[in-house]
Amino acid sequence: MRTAAAFITLLASVVSATPFGQRSQVLARASETCPVVFDGRVPANASLTDFDTANGGGWNPYNPGFVKGNNISWSEILQLPKTKTKSRFDTETGTIPLEVTISDKSIFMKQLGFRRAGLQFNKDSNEGSPGSEGVKTLHFSIMQDDKRPLNLSHEYLNVWHEKADFSGNQFQFQAGQLIGQNGTAATWKLLDQDFKLLWETPMLKKVWQNFAITLNYEKNTIQAYYSKGCKPLKAATQPIARNLTGQGQFQIGILKKPTGTDDVANSGFQEVNLNEGLIYGGVFLEDSADGCVSL
């Protein structure tokens, strides 16, 4: 049963059906309206060193050990940028954005081909995680950093869910020129485990782009939602049948693939003096078991 405060919030919302029939809730001012499973939003009083320890600062929900360069800490990787506006799901909570950056030091283990830094929820275990069962919706907003632009001649993974056996990803949210494919580089792309494009939208500068991805592990479907600025999310696709088995973990950040190689994990070309970043806001995973999606 919802609390009285939640009930008041519910009364303030407009319950609507999306074009594809999913029940959802829209608030005049954006706030999550469904049970939150993992909350990755950053409080206004956070410091970068909070990210270096589990529950650092009494709030850090991310794993301090993964996935990053071998000899670099999260406080050296992340930034807390001052953007002119907050993302849609940071405004109501008073939380702030964070920026994931990559550099020449962003080599995880012995993967010499990649440059990567991927945040993982600390309670999102590789097997048996609540993030890999039922129906879950991952929310995140993105703003590009003009001072640390991505090189879109490369392929980037930005948000994905990696299988427990590390054999692949149930989905991957990407940018840049996909290796071996003829597509537009300057789009955000949602792909399935077989690298088939499910949906894309142009990459915009100087504005927040808001995304939600609903994973129905029971029916094996995936659905995307999108908006820009402070506008409510709208369904961008219908539920698409895809194999979501394999459990695993979410990652949020940057994985930059090299060019000029067939062995992308271990070799290939990466620029030197690398300084790239991507700003994230409003990151959280919610339970959509009853069809609820915060818009």
- Summarize the confidence of residues 17-36 as an average pLDDT: 55
pLDDT of residue 34: 94
Q: Is the peptide bond before 293 cis (omega within 30 degrees of 0)?
A: no
| pLDDT higher than threshold 50 for residue 25 | no
What number of other Cβ atoms are within 10 A of residue 140's Cβ? 23
Task: Give, in order, the Cα–Cα distances in Å from 209 to each of 87, 164, 190, 233, 282.
Answer: 8, 29, 14, 10, 11
Measure the N-to-C terminal CA separation of the chain; round to a whole number of Å. 22
Residue 80 falls in which region: left (phi positive, over 0), alpha (psi -120 to 50) or beta:
beta
pLDDT at 31 exceeding the cut of 80: no
Question: How far is Cα 160 from Cα 8, in angstroms, rounded to an integer?
Answer: 34
Strands (E), 89-239: 98-102, 115-119, 135-144, 155-162, 169-176, 187-192, 197-202, 209-216, 221-228, 234-235
Per-residue pLDDT reduced to its tens digit, 121-149: 999 999 999 999 999 999 999 999 999 99
Whether 2 has a pLDDT exceeding 50, the answer reads no
Lowest mean pLDDT across 31-40, 174-183, 247-256: 31-40
Q: Give the per-residue pLDDT at 23.
A: 41
* Burial tier of 27 (Cβ tally within 10 Å: 0-12, 13-18, 19+): middle
pLDDT at 50 over 60: yes
Tell me the C-alpha to C-alpha distance, in Å, between residue 110 and each of 107, 125, 231, 266.
7, 23, 42, 7
Residue 218, pLDDT > 80, answer yes
Total-model pTM = 0.89
Q: What are the extents of the domains in the chain?
A: 33-184+212-287
For the four alpha carbons of 274, 177, 143 and 132, in that order, the dihedral sign comes to negative
Cα distances (angstroms) measured from residue 260 to each of 121, 155, 197, 266: 33, 12, 23, 12
* Domain 33-184+212-287: CATH class, spelled out: mainly beta
∠ Cα 208 61 38 (to 5°): 70
| Residues 87 and 210 sit within 8 Å (Cβ to Cβ) | yes
In a 10 Å sphere around its CB, with 0-12 CB exposed, 13-18 middle and 19+ buried, how is residue 28 labelled?
Answer: exposed
Q: How confident is the model at residue 30 (pLDDT cuts 50, 70, 90)?
A: low
